[in-house]
Amino acid sequence: MSDVLTTRQAALLCGVSFRTVIRWIERGLLQAYRLPGRGDYRVPQEALHAFMLENDIPLPGVSLLPARRVLIVEDDPSMARALARVLKPAGFETAHAPDGFAAGAMLHSFRPALMTLDLRMPGLDGLGVLSYLQRSPMPFPLKILVVSADSEKRMAQALELGADALVRKPFDNQEFLAEVERLLEPKGGAWKSIGVKPESV
C-alpha cells in the first residue's frame, strides 16, 4: 500500500467530507503536499495518523471516549436536563452549552462526537452555529443533531448548513436516543492495519 493518501481516502478514515480535509490542509492543521501539474493534495499516512491521535479521532477498530460524548446546546435548562437524562443511562458523557457562543468554546475543550443543537437561542442562534462550523470545521468528526420546535423553513435551512439530522420538539425519548445512536454508529472496514484500498487517481 502507498504511504500517501488522497484527500478522499483521508476523509473516509476521519469520517468527514473530503472538503473538510482540504480545509484542514489549507489552514495548516494537517500536513500534505500538492502533486506537480494537477495540484491535487496528497496526505502522508504518518501525518494523518499523528493528526488523528492528536485530535482524538478514533482509528478504525479503536473505541475512544470522545465517541460517547454529546454536547447539548440548549438555552432552556429544563430541556437540557431532559436530554441529559435520556443520554446518560445509555452510556453517554454530556456537557451543556447554554448558547451558541459557549458552544463554540466548548467544542474545542470537550471535543464531542455529537452535538444536539436548538435553533432558537439568544445571541448566536443554531443557524449561526452551523454557519460558523461551515467556515471553521472542527479538526475531529462531529455529528450535529438539531433538536428544535422551529419552523419548517428554518429546519430545512439547518440541513442546508450541514446538520446531519433533525428531531422535532416535543420528542419521544426512545426515538431521540435511537437517532443519536444511528448518527454515531461506526462505519466498518475503513482502515485495515492503518491502510485503505488503493484509489485510482
Average pLDDT over residues 134-144: 89
Q: What angle in degrees, to the nearest 10, is found between the helix axes of 77-87 and 173-184?
A: 70
* Whether pLDDT at 196 is above 60: no
Q: What is the DSSP string of 100-131?
A: HHHHHHHHHHH--SEEEE-S--SSS-HHHHHH
Report domain extents, the chain. 4-54, 65-184
- pLDDT > 90 fraction of the chain, expressed in percent and rounded: 54
User: Architecture of domain 65-184 in CATH?
Assistant: 3-Layer(aba) Sandwich (3.40)
pTM value is 0.64
Q: Is the pLDDT of residue 197 over 50?
A: no
Cα distances (Å, whole numbers) of residue 115 to 19, 56, 69, 71:
20, 16, 9, 5
DSSP one-letter code for 16: S
Selection from 123, 100, 96, 124 nearest residue 110 by Cα: 96
Confidence of residue 117 (pLDDT cuts 50, 70, 90): very high
pLDDT at 4 > cutoff 60: yes
Residue among 104, 150, 93 nearest 128 (CA):
104
Residue 66: its pLDDT value, please? 53
**Residue-level pLDDT at 60:** 61
Distances (CA, A) of 68 to 43, 186, 195: 28, 11, 25
Percentage with pLDDT > 70 across the chain: 87
